[in-house]
Structure 1
Amino acid sequence: MLSLEDHRWGELQHAYGRAVDVPDLLRELRSATSPTKGYQEEPWYSLWSSLCHQGDVYTASYAAVPHIVEIAAETRTPIDSSFFQLPAAIEVARRTGRGPEIPAECADDYHRALASLGEVVSLHRNDAWDQSMLLSAMAAQAVAKGHVDVAEVMLNLDSDLIAKINRLEFN
Structure 2
Amino acid sequence: MDLSHPIWQEAEGGFRVSYDASVPLKELESTTDPLVIRRIWKELWNELHHQGDVGLASYLALPQLVRVGRAKGLFDWNLVGLCCV
| Bucket of the pairwise TM-score, normalised by the shorter protein | 0.7 to 0.9
Q: Note the 1:18-29 alignment, pairs <5 A.
A: 18-20=18-20, 22-29=21-28
With a CA cutoff of 8 Å and minimum separation of 6, indicate the structure with the bigger relative contact order. Answer: 2
Q: Contact 2:11/2:19 (CA < 8 Å) preserved in 1?
A: yes
Q: Residues 66 and 33 of structure 1: is their aligned pair in 2 closer, same or farther, counting only changes over 3 Å?
A: farther
Which TM-score applies when normalising by structure 2?
0.79
Q: Contact 1:12/1:19 (CA < 8 Å) preserved in 2?
A: yes
Q: Contact 1:65/1:87 (CA < 8 Å) preserved in 2?
A: yes
Q: Residues 54 and 16 of structure 1: is their aligned pair in 2 closer, same or farther, counting only changes over 3 Å?
A: same
Per-residue deviation at 1:61? Answer: 0.3
The structure 1 segments of at least 4 consecutive aligned residues displaced by more than 4 Å after TM superposition are none
Once residues 26 and 6 of structure 1 are traced to their aligned partners in structure 2, the CA distance between those partners, rounded to angstroms, is 13
In the alignment, which residue of structure 1 is the partner of 2:17?
17
Q: Which has the larger radius of gyration?
A: 1
Amino acid corresponding to residue 6 of structure 1 in structure 2: H
Is 1:5 the counterpart of 2:1? The answer is: no
Q: Residues 88 and 82 of structure 1: is their aligned pair in 2 closer, same or farther, counting only changes over 3 Å?
A: same
Structure 1 residues without counterparts, runs of 5 or longer: 90-171
Task: Determine which of 74, 81, 85 is the counterpart of 2:81.
Answer: 85
What is the count of residue pairs matched by the alignment?
81
Higher strand share: 1
In the alignment, which residue of structure 2 is the partner of 1:49?
46
Amino acid corresponding to residue 66 of structure 1 in structure 2: P
% identical aligned pairs: 28
Once residues 50 and 33 of structure 2 are traced to their aligned partners in structure 1, the CA distance between those partners, rounded to angstroms, is 21
Structure 2 residues without counterparts, runs of 5 or longer: none
Once residues 33 and 55 of structure 1 are traced to their aligned partners in structure 2, the CA distance between those partners, rounded to angstroms, is 30
**1:6-35 Cα deviation digits (max 9, x unpaired):** 111122111261123x1111012122585x
Once residues 60 and 47 of structure 2 are traced to their aligned partners in structure 1, the CA distance between those partners, rounded to angstroms, is 13
Superposition RMSD in Å: 2.1
Is 1:75 the counterpart of 2:72? The answer is: yes
Q: Residues 59 and 45 of structure 1: is their aligned pair in 2 closer, same or farther, counting only changes over 3 Å?
A: same
Q: Contact 1:72/1:79 (CA < 8 Å) preserved in 2?
A: yes
Is 23-32 or 54-63 further displaced after alignment?
A: 23-32
Which TM-score applies when normalising by structure 1?
0.42
